[in-house]
Structure 1
Amino acid sequence: MSGLTHIGATGEAHMVDVGDKYETHRAAVAEGQVRMDAATLDAILAGNAKKGDVLGTARLAGIMAAKKTSDLIPLCHPLLLTKITVEIEPDAALPGLRVVAEVRLKGQTGVEMEALTAVSVACLTIYDMAKALDKAMTISDVRLVEKSGGKSGDFRRGKQNP
């Protein structure tokens, strides 16, 4: 367990002290998708979901979730995020919705978990708001696309990191 920063010598979990780290500009982008019947996608895009504006509500839920990540994920630091965007685009080929979140800050620790949390909660909100139309929807492929800043350097999902 010596390579894990949040695990002590005897296996106990602890929050890493980032107090001595330099502040750098950090960013992360995550993505995910919600697959559904084509009729469900059409209903969402037409604004015909019983619970209201699925895309707007999911976007706001994702933004709120990014800000609450440290309340949801043990050992995550509370952060002063400077930018959160959540984009939701229809994809007829799925069929379904693709969700992309970008999170930024200038700080001492990264924002990968905030971006992943934003995408996850946006996808869950889409499911919740449209489940009356389609209980068989599938949330999938939630993953980090890229990150920049910090000691570990930059990461970009590509051929070597599918």
Structure 2
Amino acid sequence: MTSAKLSHLDATGAANMVDVGDKGETVRIATAEGFVAMLPETLAVIRAGDAAKGDVIGTARIAGIMAAKKTHELIPLCHPLLLSKISIDIEADETLPGLRVIATVKLTGKTGVEMEALTAVSVACLTIYDMAKAVDKAMTIQNIRLLQKTGGKSGDWSANPSSEG
């Protein structure tokens, strides 16, 4: 493991927003995922559109998009960003059973969008829980992680370097 310096701390250890003013603009894309595990019956209710609160997947998708746009308001040292694309895909995973949430966020700018993708996934998963908790309070939100990012000085990164796209 390398001993990288934390960019948000100054010499005294005080937290500060990183100055990105001198950085070049590049296209930056980040993709994150998370899972909501639930009873098979709960997944069936969601897929059938029978949840008492309404369209669980559609609402979670909108919540994830809204969360990505508000990341700088939720995470103290994140920069406000002009995002050019946010996509939220939610698909059933019968092996959990549950739902897999995938968020992809893009911009052309001076700082990355990893936190926006992770925030989008987190809030989408929380929304799924909120909308279906009347059916299944034992649902669990699991394995939220960054899958890949491209652009910027640090270059491309993937959680699974052998996978493509």
Aligned partner of 1:23 in structure 2 is 25
Amino acid at match of 1:44: I
CA distance in 2, matches of 1:58, 1:113: 18
Q: Secondary structure at the match of 1:80?
A: coil
Aligned partner of 1:123 in structure 2 is 125
On the 8 A contact 1:101/1:119 being kept in 2, the answer is yes
- Could you list the runs of 5+ residues in structure 1 that have no partner in the other structure? none
Aligned partner of 2:71 in structure 1 is 69
Aligned partner of 2:42 in structure 1 is 40
Note the 1:1-162 alignment, pairs <5 A.
3-158=5-160
In structure 2, the CA distance between the partners of 1:2 and 1:41, relative to structure 1 (3 Å rule), is closer
Amino acid at match of 1:33: F
The runs of at least 4 aligned residues of structure 1 exceeding 3 Å deviation read: none
On the 8 A contact 1:109/1:150 being kept in 2, the answer is yes
Q: How far apart are residue 35 of structure 1 and its match? A: 0.1
| RMSD of equivalent CA atoms | 1.3
Give the length in aligned residue pairs. Answer: 160
In structure 2, the CA distance between the partners of 1:37 and 1:2, relative to structure 1 (3 Å rule), is closer
Q: Secondary structure at the match of 1:42?
A: helix
Q: Deviations over 1:45-99 (max 9, x none)?
A: 0011000000000000000000000000010000000000000000111000000
In structure 2, the CA distance between the partners of 1:143 and 1:106, relative to structure 1 (3 Å rule), is same
Question: How much identity, in percent, do the aligned residues show?
Answer: 68
On the 8 A contact 1:62/1:86 being kept in 2, the answer is yes
CA distance in 2, matches of 1:9, 1:43: 53
Q: How far apart are residue 33 of structure 1 and its match? A: 0.3
CA distance in 1, matches of 2:140, 2:120: 17
Amino acid at match of 1:6: H
- Could you list the runs of 5+ residues in structure 2 that have no partner in the other structure? none
Q: Deviations over 1:92-140 (max 9, x none)?
A: 1100000000000000000000000000000000000000000000000
CA distance in 2, matches of 1:34, 1:65: 17
Amino acid at match of 1:119: V
Amino acid at match of 2:48: A
Q: TM-score, with normalisation over the residues of structure 1?
A: 0.96
On the 8 A contact 1:28/1:148 being kept in 2, the answer is yes
